[in-house]
Amino acid sequence: MSDTKTPMVKADRRLSASGDANGAARTVHIRTYGCQMNVYDSERMIDLLRPLGYRPVDDAATADLVILNTCHIREKAAEKLYSDLGRLCETKSEKVGGMTIAVAGCVAQAEGELVRKRSDVVDIIVGPQAYHRLPELIAKAARQKGDALDTTFAVEEKFDAIAGSRRAGGVSDFVTVQEGCDKFCAFCVVPYTRGAEVSRSAAAILEEIRLLADRGVREVTLLGQNVNAWRGEGPGGREWGLGELCRAIAAIDGIWRIRFTTSHPRDMDDGLIAALAEEAKLMPYLHLPVQAGSDKVLAAMNRRHTAADYLQLIEKIRTARADIALSGDFIVGFPGETDEDFEQTLALARAVGYASAFSFKYSRRPGTPAAALPKQVSDSEKDRRLEALQSLLKAQRDAFCDSLVGKTLPILFERPGRRAGQLIGRTPYLQSLHACAPASMIGSIAPARVSGVTPNALAGEVVGRAARGLPAVFKAEDAEAPRE
């Protein structure tokens, strides 16, 4: 599944940067919590609201409509909603002309009625598969308080509705290709909040990406909770998997880079691995969560793969594409996890050697099978394990970054940096890289020599000409992902 692990992304910042200046009479502020899918959804909500005259703003206090696009994956993320609603209560009472507050996303889906009970400042509750109905819900809320709740699973209707108002979001943009999850990992709320796995049609995805390419998007990240479970129909009614879809996207003029997230090990089929091996526009970076290294814990988690299955899969992927950099997700302190089990998680991480990875303390989520399991692990023990795992993963990440110093990588420049004359771009491995370069290079790929590593990015110098309009691609010999 897809989670950026950025506990709160202020999507409105990007939105207003791309904003419109049509002098709209109404304003909207969106606060986005959680995953990239939520960031994408927030952007689509803005697209849907623009025709109604809404203009995005950075400051909630000045907004006529405030949308909190929530995350339910861990308790902390869900509780954040209630503290933000508490603060908004005062803001709303002081706002001249009134303010409409909408709670969207997975908390709305999972506990919409509870949200209403806990906070009477909320006017609209809308789930992640119904937000295309926001315009009607806004009208409903204006007519009668307490009436505007929609948590139906209208996924296909939603995709159709958002296609019409789609705007491009810069050099790199997200495209949802799949939603929902049928895997039912024992700890996870996603199958309940996002619903069953649904794939968008290949035709609709390709049309959206062609439109984005025409508007200057050079990199697309295909999103799905189980993105590699995507299935669709290719020409002649042939069944396509994600690999075929990526090859078709690679054939679109103007698209230079393709990424996808998040993949499940069980859906990493040969077609996709072959596409990774052969399609140079597919970036050599793969987020492949494993969650734990002990077979006993993996079974209790209902992951339906063993540690050895995962390691074999990694080997196969590396054989197909030697320069692939790996990322993953881990949970520590799942019910019943012993010290010995946890040691196996550390051993697995050592065996893989991640370029980046995310790790979390197990959070007991109401309604999930794991919440009812005995032998819940104490919080202090989870803290200890998390610290140990994070220090290993940080060392691996640092080693990976250090291994790139002195190498030349193709950088897709996306936006100006904080310092004058500086641009920020991305390496093929999804790292940010700062370099001095003219603003005209935004939207181009240029070779840059990595000169150093900062806490959150790489520093580099542009060492060659930008390739504008060329399918500039990564060359495997330029850099190799480190391995243990």
363 binds ligand 5AD, rule: CB under 6 A: yes
428 binds ligand SF4, rule: CB under 6 A: no
User: 481: closest CA among 326, 357, 315, 350?
Assistant: 326
Query: Are 129 and 195 in contact, with CB atoms under 8 Å apart?
Result: yes
301 binds ligand 5AD, rule: CB under 6 A: no
User: 352: closest CA among 311, 294, 400, 401?
Assistant: 311
CB neighbourhood size of 408 (10 A):
18
**Partner from ligand SF4, ligand 5AD, none contacting 363, C-beta within 5 to 8 A by type:** ligand 5AD
Least Å from the CB of residue 300 to ligand SF4: 13
Looking at the Cβ atoms of 100 and 199, the one nearer to ligand SF4 is 199
SS3 425: strand
Least Å from the CB of residue 288 to ligand 5AD: 10
Least Å from the CB of residue 289 to ligand 5AD: 4
What character string, x for contact with ligand SF4 (CB under 6 A) and - otherwise, covers 97-136? Answer: ----------------------------------------
* Buried-exposed string 96-113: b where 16+ CB fall within 10 A, e elsewhere: eeebbbbbbbbbbbbbbe
Q: With contacts defined by CB under 6 A, name the span among 41-49, 90-98, 178-186, 470-478 that binds ligand SF4.
A: 178-186
188 binds ligand 5AD, rule: CB under 6 A: yes
Listed in sequence order, the residues at least 6 apart from 398 whose beta carbon sits closer than 8 Å to its beta carbon are: 453
Take residue 360 and report the two structure tokens written for it.
Answer: 């979390």
291 binds ligand 5AD, rule: CB under 6 A: yes
483 class by beta-carbon count within 10 Å (0-12 exposed, 13-18 middle, 19+ buried): exposed
Number of residues that bind ligand SF4 (CB under 6 A): 11
**Would you mind telling me the total number of residues written for the chain in this entry?**
484
SS3 103: strand
170 binds ligand SF4, rule: CB under 6 A: no
Judged by CB under 6 A, the residue of 184, 295, 296, 403 near ligand SF4 is 184
Least Å from the CB of residue 4 to ligand 5AD: 9
Looking at the Cβ atoms of 3 and 244, the one nearer to ligand SF4 is 3
Least Å from the CB of residue 289 to ligand SF4: 7
User: 162: closest CA among 252, 321, 41?
Assistant: 41
**Partner from ligand 5AD, ligand SF4, none contacting 362, C-beta within 5 to 8 A by type:** ligand 5AD
Looking at the Cβ atoms of 363 and 396, the one nearer to ligand 5AD is 363
191 binds ligand SF4, rule: CB under 6 A: yes
HSE (side-chain half, CA atoms, 13 Å) at 403: 19
CA angle 459, 8, 288 (to 5 degrees): 65
Query: Are 218 and 153 in contact, with CB atoms under 8 Å apart?
Result: no
User: 332: closest CA among 382, 289, 278?
Assistant: 382
Looking at the Cβ atoms of 172 and 263, the one nearer to ligand 5AD is 263
Looking at the Cβ atoms of 186 and 481, the one nearer to ligand SF4 is 186
Rg (CA), the chain: 22
Looking at the Cβ atoms of 194 and 247, the one nearer to ligand 5AD is 194
Q: With contacts defined by CB under 6 A, name the span among 35-43, 56-64, 181-189, 306-314 that binds ligand SF4.
A: 181-189
**Partner from ligand 5AD, ligand SF4, none contacting 294, C-beta within 5 to 8 A by type:** none
Query: Are 251 and 239 in contact, with CB atoms under 8 Å apart?
Result: no
Judged by CB under 6 A, the residue of 9, 73, 148, 272 near ligand 5AD is 73
- Match 């984005």 to its residue by tokens: 212
**Partner from ligand SF4, ligand 5AD, none contacting 3, C-beta within 5 to 8 A by type:** ligand 5AD
**Partner from ligand SF4, ligand 5AD, none contacting 73, C-beta within 5 to 8 A by type:** ligand 5AD
66 binds ligand SF4, rule: CB under 6 A: no
Query: Are 102 and 115 in contact, with CB atoms under 8 Å apart?
Result: no
Angle formed by the axes of helices 75-94 and 105-118, nearest 10°: 60
Partner residues linked to 320 by β-bridges? none
**Partner from ligand SF4, ligand 5AD, none contacting 192, C-beta within 5 to 8 A by type:** none
362 binds ligand 5AD, rule: CB under 6 A: yes
- Match 């709305």 to its residue by tokens: 108
Q: Give the interface with ligand SF4 as residue ranges (CB under 6 A).
A: 1, 181, 183-185, 188, 190-191, 225-226, 264
